[in-house]
Every structure is written in structure tokens, then in C-alpha cells.
């Protein structure tokens, strides 16, 4: 059965513009649809955030802010972002539609790839990430699902939904954003995300392309996370004997557990990848992978997830046989990892782990009894009105703490943006909960920048919380060249903060260019300067049958064009017609003389007089043989 028929969005038009035709894919954070932009009549991909996440105002604002940043990242291997918006509870991105499949589809169908094919996919991925890294962004969620392979063979990186600035350290309390199988150790341990986490994920993808399997597996996310922290990614040749050493080396470099040992960004890894390819022979690049076994692929581990930190820092301390074992040392009790292979915990260590797990699960009757009446959970206040929030807190036995206000692009004015502690947090009865109320989008008035130089006008727009938009030029009788005439929208108009404001800049007073062709260079210069124009003479002169030597043969801009005062007009001066040598035809027959002169490029005129009416011999010529005359001019021959 086609499940897209059950999707409430299919067949709807979002934001009065995007008609949703079919569901393409479902991820951990959003659903992707094929849609049609009814205004531009083009097919695109519409990524709609799951409603459960769309109620988190901070998550939505980050989603929008980062989408705007990625929209400025123009690269042929990056899926472009066209638009962003919200329609009711639906927050969406309009993106480039790539007809084809994902790298996950290829791996699921074919298993391991030939090294050449793996590198052919990896290199454009690294080129896209390299552009992002050099522009100041980190993807943070690289995986085969986010590598699109078009029907035309083009490779594109998608889903920059978790992108962060390079110099930003992710410090989401108690959580890590990402996909379990591709998380770098530093992401798991402390949430750090710089370009090297993308490098690590690409190393894992390369391993998977070469072997058809992931480097670390396990029965639970905690086991996989533990292996990323404590076990190196094995060399691909251990799974596929015969793979070149250079490929093992490339995977090891990209997936080093110590980030300082990895290439510092995707550009550096791309250079290393190309060097490795150059060292491989054709037989090594085209080595056939082993017969792939079709496996059922569980997408659960490949979804972008919000992973509790309690599952992401499972570190066992050394065990002292004679001392009381300290099982876990973290900010709170955590899910214990399995012991490293070949090593067993002592009996007392196992008992301690079991006790810790029982405490975490709250199955100790005494603990349950003591805590049950003293604690409650913070109700979900997001998108509620202030009155509703107060009522819900009172019903939960909680007090209202500090009430603050903040602007929001996505949450309706007068409703709750967020609370502290957050929804679902465990809190003592009668404690206070603070919340923030949305003041709606921040708006500012467009400043009056007319009369400012362009650079100054842009500075003033930015200082007022707006962005300089498209710059167009117009003639102006009143404003000097380079100064702002007006803005679109006009000064004083209220606009949302961050909006782009178009600027109209003066090209100066308009001047009609006079026609100076045929004039001497000196006269043309004087006439143009008198009209308020600058003059430049081209060093290249041209031959001309129309204009004599020293006359202006051409001008740019041409006559009657309207240009700004001070515009430079370039003059090209004639060096006169082309001069060629005249052949000597005296004594020749009339026919022979005519043929010789015409072949040389001249026109011929006959002068027979009274005595030459019946003659056939040339007795003279208007320009003597051996002299020069303008090409195309007329030579008169006298016949007697």
C-alpha cells in the first residue's frame, strides 16, 4: 500500500505556493516531499520538520538561522536551498530536487563498491564539505543518506540541517545531535563539532563503501558509541583482502580517534584522497569487491537523533581487584558499556553495575516511595499563552518564576517560546519555573540613507539590523555619482530584522554623447570635454576608406547614447586608407592593363580622347607605376 496516500500533507499547498505531490523520505527530524513551486512552475524538494520538533522554538530558530547560512553556500555539489518558511505548525525548507538515489540505496543494493567508484563518490562529497568548511560551516551529520547521486551521475551533499559555525562548540545539555554510526569520538564525549567531525564521518563512509558494512556494530546505540570512543576503525582490507594499503591508510587517517591526527578539514582530506588515488594502479582501482550478501538494513541507526548524553559517555575506569570498584564517573549515572574484548570485570564490578542500573531505572522500592510525592515534571508550555502557562504550572503544583520577553521569527506574539527548566524536566513541587514570551518577529524601520555614499549606507543598514540587498543604478540630476538616491522599501517602512533592503544609487547627471566621428582628434577631444565627458584615445589606429588620416573613425560609447556625467569616451583614430603600389601598365593592351590594375585592388577608367577611339595600347596612367595610391581608388589609363 502506498503510505504517501495517508500523509496529510500530500495534495496540500504550503504557504500558498508549494504543492506537495509525494513523500520521498522520512528522517529523524524531518520528512522530505517532492513538490511543485506553483509560482515558478518548477519541481523541488520540500523538507518539512516533524511537528514534535517544530514546537521547540529554539530548535526551529536554529533550523531557520542555519538554513539561511547554507543558502549562501553556492557549490555544484551542494543541494541548494531556495526558500524557507512556516505555514501553521509546518516549518519547511524548499530545496533543489535531485532525481536519483542516495548512497545508502546504492550500498543496500550493491554492497561493497570498487575502489574507483568509492573514490568517485567521496571526492565530490569532500569538495562540497570543503567549500562549507572554508565558508565557516560544519555539516555534523554526514552519512550515506545525505549523499545524493543524480540520474546524470552528479553527486550532491544534502541536509545541512545540523550545520554549525566552525568556531561553535555544541554544548547541548545532556544531548548530542547526529547519527550514531558516524559520530566522531569528540562529538560523543563532549559535543565538540569542528570540520574534523565531518572528516571522521567521511572516513567511516569510505570504509562502508569499500567493505559494504559499517566499521562498528552492536545491539544498541550505547555499544556502538562505546566502540567509537575506544576502538579504532579497522582497516578495510581486514574485511576485503587484497584492498590496497593506500586505502587502509586513507581510512585510518580520516578516522583517527584523536582529532589532532586527522586532516584538519575536508579540503585537506580531498588532497590526501587524490594523492592516494594517484598511487593506485588501474587493477587496484578496479578490483572487484567480494560477492555482496544482501542484508536487511535497519535504518534506525542511520537516522539523525537527539542522543541522551547518558548514552554517549560510557567510560570504564581501571579495576583494582583489591579496592572497591568505581564503575562510572560521569555527571550522572549512565548506561554502562560492554567491557573491552578479552577482558572481564570482576564479580564485584558486575554487581556494582547492576545496582547502578537498578537505581537509574528507579526499581528500588524505597527510592520510588521517597521520591514519588516530592517531584513532578515541568509541563509543556511552548506555544501556550501566558494565562494558559500560569494555569498549567499551578495545576502541576509549581510557581511562576521570572517572566521575560524575546523576539521570535516563528512563534506567535504573546505565546511561550521556552521555559527554564525545560518541558519534562524533573523538578520539586512548589519550585519555580521561568518562561519567555514571544514578542513576535523583531521589526525595525528602514533608515533614511539617501545622500549617503553606498558603503556608508550599507553600514547604516547593518547597524540597524537590516541587510543590504540588490544595488541598481539610475541617472540623477540631483545626486552625485555613487550616492544613494533611495531605498526599496522606502525610508521609514517597518521591516522584519534581517530583511534585505534594495538600494538605488546615482549614476550621475545624464549626458547625451555627441557624434565626433570625422572630426580631428583635437576637435573631438574639446567637444567631448565641453559636454562633461572624459576622453581616452585608443593606441590602436585603423585604416579607413571613409575617414582621412587623423580623423576620428570610431567612438565608444556611440553617438546619442545617454551616459553619466564624467563617463569616459574612447576614440579610435583613422590612419587613412590602405596604400598599395600601382602596377606599371604603359605599353600593355587595354585588357591586360585593366586586369593588372583590378587585381591590385584598383578601379579602372579609360581616357581615349579623339585619337584613341580605335586604339588598343596604353600610352599613360594617372598614377605612375611604382607609386602608391589608396586601395580601391580609380586609376585612369590613356589609350592611343
Tally DSSP H helices, then E strands, for the chain.
16, 33
**Beta strands 568-573 and 534-537: pairing type?**
parallel
Reference 457, options 445, 469, 443; nearest CA is 469
Using DSSP's 3-state secondary structure scheme, residue 408 falls into coil
CA distance 50 to 31: 7
CB contact at 8 A, 381 and 419: yes
CA distance 284 to 118: 12
What's the length of the chain? 640
CB contact at 8 A, 392 and 443: no
The active-site residue, picked from 15, 87, 141, 512, is 141
Longest Cα–Cα distance in the chain: 145
Take residue 369 and report the three cell numbers written for it: 516511595
What's the burial of 337, exposed, middle or buried (CB within 10 Å: 0-12/13-18/19+)?
buried
CA-to-CA dists, residue 611 to 147, 508, 607, 636, 637, angstroms = 96, 71, 10, 16, 14
141 catalytic, yes or no?
A: yes
Reference 251, options 272, 280, 271; nearest CA is 272
DSSP state at residue 453: B
Using DSSP's 3-state secondary structure scheme, residue 123 falls into helix
Take residue 532 and report the three cell numbers written for it: 562633461
DSSP-assigned beta bridge partners for residue 217: none
| Peptide bond between residue 557 and the one before it cis (omega within 30 degrees of 0) | yes
Please state the three-class secondary structure of 561-628 as a single string: CEEECCCEEEEEEECCCCEEECCCCCCCEHHHHHHHHHHHCCEEEEECCCCCCCCCEEEEECCCCCCE
Reference 199, options 132, 246, 135; nearest CA is 132
CB contact at 8 A, 367 and 411: no
Give Cα 137 to chain centroid, integer Å: 10
**Alpha helices (H) in 158-305, listed in sequence order:** 185-190, 195-211, 221-230, 245-254, 266-278, 282-285
Rg of the chain in Å (alpha carbons): 39
Active site residues: 141
Amino acid at each position: 500500500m502506498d503510505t504517501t496516500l495517508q500523509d496529510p500533507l500530500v495534495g496540500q499547498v504550503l504557504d500558498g505556493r508549494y504543492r506537495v505531490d509525494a513523500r520521498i523520505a522520512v528522517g529523524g527530524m524531518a520528512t522530505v516531499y517532492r513538490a511543485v513551486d506553483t509560482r515558478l512552475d518548477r519541481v523541488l524538494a520540500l523538507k518539512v520538520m516533524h511537528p514534535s520538533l517544530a514546537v521547540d522554538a529554539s530548535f526551529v530558530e536554529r533550523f531557520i538561522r542555519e538554513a539561511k547560512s547554507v543558502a549562501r553556500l553556492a557549490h555544484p555539489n551542494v543541494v541548494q536551498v531556495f526558500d524557507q518558511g512556516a505555514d501553521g505548525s509546518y516549518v519547511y525548507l524548499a530545496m533543489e530536487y535531485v532525481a536519483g538515489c542516495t548512497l545508502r540505496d546504492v550500498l543496500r543494493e550493491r554492497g561493497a563498491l570498487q575502489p574507483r567508484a568509492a573514490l568517485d563518490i567521496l571526492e565530490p562529497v569532500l569538495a562540497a564539505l570543503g567549500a562549507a568548511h572554508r565558508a565557516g560551516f560544519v555539516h555534523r551529520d554526514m552519512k550515506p543518506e545525505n549523499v545524493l547521486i543524480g540520474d546524470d551521475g552528479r553527486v550532491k551533499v544534502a541536509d545541512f540541517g545540523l550545520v554549525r559555525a566552525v568556531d561553535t562548540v555544541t554544548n547541548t545539555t545532556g544531548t548530542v545531535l547526529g547519527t550514531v554510526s558516524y559520530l566522531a569520538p569528540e562529538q560523543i564525549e563532549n559535543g565538540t563539532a569542528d570540520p574534523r567531525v565531518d572528516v571522521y564521518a567521511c572516513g567511516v563512509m569510505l570504509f562502508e563503501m569499500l567493505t559494504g558494512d559499517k566499521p562498528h556494530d552492536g545491539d544498541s546505540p550505547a555499544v556502538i558509541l562505546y566502540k567509537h570512543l575506544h576502538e579504532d576503525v579497522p582497516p578495510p582490507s581486514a574485511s576485503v583482502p587484497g584492498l590496497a594499503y593506500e586505502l587502509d591508510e586513507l581510512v585510518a587517517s580520516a578516522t583517527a580517534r584523536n582529532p589532532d591526527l586527522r586532516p584538519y578539514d575536508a579540503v585537506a582530506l580531498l588532497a590526501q584522497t587524490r594523492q592516494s588515488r594517484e598511487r593506485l594502479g588501474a587493477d587496484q582501482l578496479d578490483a572487484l569487491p567480494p560477492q555482496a550478501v544482501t542484508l536487511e538494513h535497519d535504518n534506525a541507526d542511520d537516522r539523525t537523533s537527539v542522543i541522551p548524553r547518558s548514552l554517549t559517555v560510557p567510560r570504564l575506569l581501571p579495576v583494582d581487584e583489591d579496592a572497591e570498584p568505581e564503575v562510572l564517573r560521569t555527571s550522572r549515572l549512565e548506561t554502562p558499556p560492554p567491557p573491552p574484548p578479552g577482558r572481564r570485570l570482576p564479580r564485584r564490578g558486575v554487581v556494582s553495575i547492576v545496582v547502578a542500573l537498578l537505581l537509574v531505572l528507579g526499581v528500588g522500592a524505597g527510592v520510588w516511595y521517597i521520591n514519588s510525592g516530592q517531584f513532578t515534571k515541568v509541563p509543556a508550555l511552548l506555544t501556550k499563552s501566558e494565562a494558559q502557562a500560569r494555569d498549567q504550572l499551578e495545576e502541576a503544583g509549581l510557581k511562576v518564576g521570572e517572566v521575560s520577553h524575546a523576539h521570535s521569527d516563528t512563534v506567535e506574539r504573546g505565546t511561550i517560546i521556552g521555559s527554564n527548566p525545560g518541558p519534562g524536566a524533573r523538578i520539586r513541587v512548589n519550585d519555580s519555573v521561568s518562561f519567555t514570551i514571544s514578542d513576535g518577529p523583531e521589526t525595525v524601520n528602514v533608515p533614511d540613507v539617501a545622500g549617503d555614499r553606498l558603503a556608508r549606507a550599507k553600514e547604516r543598514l547593518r547597524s540597524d539590523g537590516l541587510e543590504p540587498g540588490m544595488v541598481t543604478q539610475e541617472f540623477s540630476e540631483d545626486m552625485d555619482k555613487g550616492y544613494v538616491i533611495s531605498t526599496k522599501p522606502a525610508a521609514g517602512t517597518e521591516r522584519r530584522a534581517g530583511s534585505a533592503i534594495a538600494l538605488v544609487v546615482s549614476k550621475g547627471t545624464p549626458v547625451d554623447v555627441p557624434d565626433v566621428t570625422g572630426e580631428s582628434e583635437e576637435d573631438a577631444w574639446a567637444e567631448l570635454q565641453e559636454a562633461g565627458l572624459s576622453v581616452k584615445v585608443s593606441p590602436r589606429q585603423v585604416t579607413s576608406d571613409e575617414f582621412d588620416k587623423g580623423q576620428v573613425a570610431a567612438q565608444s560609447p556611440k553617438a546619442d547614447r545617454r551616459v553619466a556625467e564624467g563617463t569616459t569616451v574612447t576614440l579610435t583614430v583613422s590612419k587613412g586608407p590602405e596604400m598599395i603600389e600601382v602596377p606599371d601598365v604603359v605599353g600593355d593592351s587595354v585588357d591586360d592593363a585593366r586586369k593588372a590594375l583590378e587585381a591590385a585592388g584598383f578601379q579602372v577608367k579609360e581616357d581615349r580622347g579623339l585619337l584613341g577611339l580605335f586604339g588598343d595600347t596604353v600610352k599613360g596612367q594617372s598614377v605612375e607605376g611604382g607609386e602608391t595610391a589608396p586601395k580601391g581608388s580609380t586609376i585612369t589609363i590613356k589609350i592611343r
